[in-house]
Structure 1
């Protein structure tokens, strides 16, 4: 199967997580990706993130490696006239520019979407920022943790006792990367019909809102302020949520009447089906505290592993709480190889396609500078002159 983005060149002028992830996803769909970094330290994420300090000291932190494979690396100083000329030539050769700089930085460098459109009218310019363009917060800096706080997402986690809690992984960064890739794909589809480039304006805040869509709709239509519910299910079903067991915890997703009936039979509580307190969904909602107490007491008599086996056999939606290490050993993880099916064995996309793509390992800063410049028409003398003046960097 031909990769959907085969023949598409993406310029990855990004840093940290969300922007590099967007370009990485496009590369997994077959695009040629050239990462543009400043000479010296390059993307700051090369040197921080993850628990492997030795790799970070070498400019290849695990956080960088995660979305660094399958890309070429060009190190060039865009703030010099020669470096700027290199970048403009690169943009003329490209189909997509992905960047996550604040608007003031783009204005200063004269690389806003208006400037890049003048350089290459067919370019799809994808800008990823904390709050999107054309509003009073457009210039405000933001990281994943800031967006989790300001979006209301953190206010929904934890309990009244714990207070707000950030999610354990940078989910907004990676969701924003996926949103950006979707926007770029849409713009490329449109360009196929019009021949014109486009501006894709990606907001981390709106990405967070998208992850809370049903919660937002409920609030908009009812005016009811959502409250932190701990491990209770959003469905508000008393037979859904995360429950302690004799060992471990069990997550139940019992929201429909047939599911409740299957649960009652499987756990030996068929009498609940004739108990007027629990026999109907309305009755269970009225007596949710009593049902939750009875269910909790029963689940505490056996381990989460035992209950998971029993309930899955009965067709009841459930899952035993697992650590990341345990989750990565699940058949749905090992058989589909998400953790290793990306370029050079790094993480893949959350869907499978039969495409061929670059399998290049993450590159050292500037590893491809000379070859890229040659392809753009610069001769060895030009490259050597730029190297000697430190406008570019070429790793050995």
Structure 2
């Protein structure tokens, strides 16, 4: 079977992480992705992010490489009217525009959603911003760390002693990229029925709220403000959370009666099963002191590696706390690309009988400029004029 988005052209006018990730995911599903960058510097993330400073100095930072593959790069100066002419011609050839610029930038360049869809009525214009359209914060700049702070996520992370803590990875950026890709594919499906394009408004803040949905509902219905709970599970069950072992830590997700019975068997705590006070979730919550002490003592008697195998054999939701090298080496069904050295973001799902599009290396700045201009119908002399004027930039290599 062909990839789901084969024949779809995506203009990736984005920068940093969330926007490029969205376009990258669409490319992995088969879309032809053309990355539009400014001449000379290109996407700012080319030169920062990650620990490899030598790669970053060459415009190939590890952060850029993560979602840079499978695309073609054209460098256009959109501050120049002739550059915007090139961009408008690109939009006429496209199905999707993905961009993450502030509304004021779009207005200044004459590329608002009304103007882009006037150029191409079938265009899906996906705008990714910190706070979405329509409110007082619509033009406020934002990065992942800002959204983690403003959304309340950081206020719930950490302990009373540590204070608020950001998550160890830019989860809002990549969640926003996935949200936007989901929205774009939905809009493409809608277009099959209407034959017209649409505007897709993607908010980083609303994405953060979607990740916190059950916590927000609990607050709305109870008025209980979430507190920092460290490694305790959201379920607040005495048998859920992360516990120290003789060596390492083990995470337990034991909330249901059947799970508790399997845990008791695995730990050799048959007396728990004979105690009527512990036979229900409500009873265990009321008598947590009967479980908490023995549970901690028993888990500390073995290494996390041992407990993981014992608990898995009994069907207990459990996992050893791993560092990143160990985590990405797990033998999951979708781990082959990583074990074979494939870098970059991976799709968290698969289609039956459809493999993700082969990922070409991330392009150098302007690597495909001439090829793309020729596809758009520019004659050789016109291309030479644009290059000489600095309106576009060819391969930097």
If the TM-score is normalised by the length of the shorter chain, which range does it land in? Answer: over 0.9
Task: Output the CA distance in 2 between the equivalents of 1:340 and 1:316.
Answer: 28
Q: Structure 1 residues 220-229 or 350-359, which shifts more?
A: 350-359
Q: Which residue of 1 aligns with 2:206?
A: 206
The answer to whether the Cα contact below 8 Å between 1:338 and 1:349 also exists between their aligned partners in 2 is: no
Contact 1:311 1:318 in 2 (8 A): yes
User: Match of 1:105?
Assistant: 105
Offset at residue 156 of structure 1 (A):
1.0
2:128 aligned with 1:115: no
Quote how far apart the aligned CAs of 1:341 are.
8.4
SS in 1 for 2:207: helix
Give the deviation of 1:338 after TM superposition.
5.3
Match of 2:321 in 1: 321
- Offset, 1:359: 3.1
- Give the equivalent residue in structure 1 for 2:234: 234
Task: Answer whether contact 2:329 2:335 (CA < 8 A) is retained.
Answer: no
Q: Under a length normalisation based on structure 2, what TM-score does the superposition of the two structures give?
A: 0.97
Is contact 1:366–1:393 with CA below 8 Å preserved after alignment? yes
Q: Which runs of 5+ in 2 are unaligned?
A: none
- Residues 101/321 of structure 1: CA separation in 2 closer, same or farther (3 Å cut): same
8 Å contact kept, 1:55–1:61: yes
SS at match of 1:332: coil
Tell me: CA distance 1:257–1:303, structure 2 relative to 1, closer, same or farther (3 Å). Answer: same
Contact persistence 1:339–1:347 (CA under 8 A):
no
Task: Write the distance in 1 (CA, Å) between the matches of 2:150 and 2:197.
Answer: 33
Matches of 1:203 and 1:392, distance apart in 2: 31
Distance between the aligned counterparts of 2:389 and 2:65, measured in 1? 29
Deviations 1:70-119 (A, max 9, x none): 00000010111111110000000000000000011001001010110111
In the alignment, is the contact (CA less than 8 A) between 2:46 and 2:64 conserved in 1?
yes
* Distance in 2, Cα, partners of 1:331 & 1:170: 25
Q: What is the alpha-carbon distance in structure 1 between the residues aligned to residue 281 and residue 86 of structure 2?
A: 66
Change in Cα spacing, 1:9 to 1:325, as seen in structure 2 (3 Å) is: same
8 Å CA contact 2:329–2:339 kept in 1: the answer is no
Query: CA contact under 8 A between 1:340 and 1:348: conserved in structure 2?
Result: no
Question: What secondary structure does 2:252 align onto?
Answer: strand
Contact residue 340 and residue 347 of structure 1 kept, 8 A = no
- Name whichever of 191-200 and 377-386 sits farther off: 377-386
With structure 1 as the length reference, what TM-score do the two structures score?
0.97
Q: Within 5 A, what are the aligned runs for 1:365-380?
A: 365-380=365-380
Partners of 1:130 and 1:141 within 8 A in 2: yes
1:87 counterpart residue number: 87
Q: Are 1:351 and 2:349 an aligned pair?
A: yes
Q: Which blocks of at least 5 consecutive residues in structure 1 are unaligned?
A: none
- How far the C-alpha of 1:303 sits from its partner, in A, is 0.9
> Compared with structure 1, are the counterparts of its residues 20 and 207 closer, same or farther at alpha carbon in structure 2 (3 Å cutoff)?
same
> Equivalents in 2 of 1:138, 1:279: separation in Å?
52
How many residues are aligned here?
394
CA contact (8 A) 2:66 2:343 kept: no
Partner of 1:150: 150
How big is the shift at 1:240?
0.6
Q: Contact conserved, 2:255 with 2:281, CA < 8 A, in 1?
A: no
Residue in 2 that maps onto 1:138: 138
Write out aligned runs for 1:220-299 (5 A). 220-299=220-299
Match of 1:188 in 2: 188
